[in-house]
Amino acid sequence: MSRALFSFNFNSFNFLSCRQLNWRSSSPNSWRVLSPLTSQFDKVAPVRHSSRLPPKPISKWLSTKAVAAKRERRRLERRWLSTRDDRDRLKYRRASRSANKLINNSRRDFFRNRLLECDNQPHDKRWRIVNDLLHSHVTDKTSDENKHLRIINSSPAKSSPC
């Protein structure tokens, strides 16, 4: 949940209602005090709702090169879809093949290294590693940006808006 503040129209915002709020009579965090202010904000900067899907939970094996290649592939795909130029399609396909190779190599290397760790381990640690490989619950490496946006959007405002 966020507001489109970049297109905020200061001329249409009613600052008088903000001045008329009685900030001293109750807590500044009270919804009773803030509801007239938020209704004014809703008129000039409505709340936007995002519909992005959450990341896939099983990609802890992606290397940083593979993550960068996936982003580049997606960028080139968006460019090709917007221009419909054959040269952009060829760049996208080349990037797609390269990204797929990096993703597969990254997955292979991760599993190989984890299984090689098992050789010198006692049987209980061996089974713990195998269980971790089969039933992964670690979130996606590419979700850092989403996590930061959730933290920013969920934190309360530190100062009064007026």
The better pLDDT of the pair 114, 29 is held by 114
CA dist 159 and 116 (Å) reads 54
Higher pLDDT, 48 or 85: 85
Q: Are residues 34 and 12 in the same domain?
A: yes
Give yes or no for residue 25 having a pLDDT over 60.
no
pLDDT band at 159 (very low <50, low <70, confident <90, very high): very low
pLDDT at 147: 59
Instruction: Tell me, yes or no, whether 103 lies in a domain.
Output: yes
Would you say 103 and 70 are in contact if contact means Cβ atoms under 8 Å apart?
yes
Work out whether the CA dihedral 80, 83, 84, 89 comes out positive or negative: negative
Stronger pLDDT, 3 or 47, i.e. the higher one: 47
User: Is 149 within the bounds of a domain?
Assistant: no
> Mean per-residue pLDDT for 80-94?
97
pLDDT of residue 5: 65
Mean pLDDT, range 81-106, rounded to an integer:
97
**66 and 45 fall within a common domain:** no
Q: Are 161 and 37 in contact (CB under 8 A)?
A: yes
**Which tokens go with 38?**
């938020």
Burial of 73 (0-12, 13-18, 19+ CB in 10 A): buried
Q: What are phi and psi of 40, to 5 degrees?
A: -65, -40
pLDDT given for residue 59 in this prediction: 74
- Would residue 65 count as lying in a domain? yes
Mean pLDDT of the residues in the chain: 76
Are residues 77 and 99 both part of a single domain? yes
Quick one: average pLDDT of 27-52?
A: 67
* Residue 18: per-residue pLDDT: 58
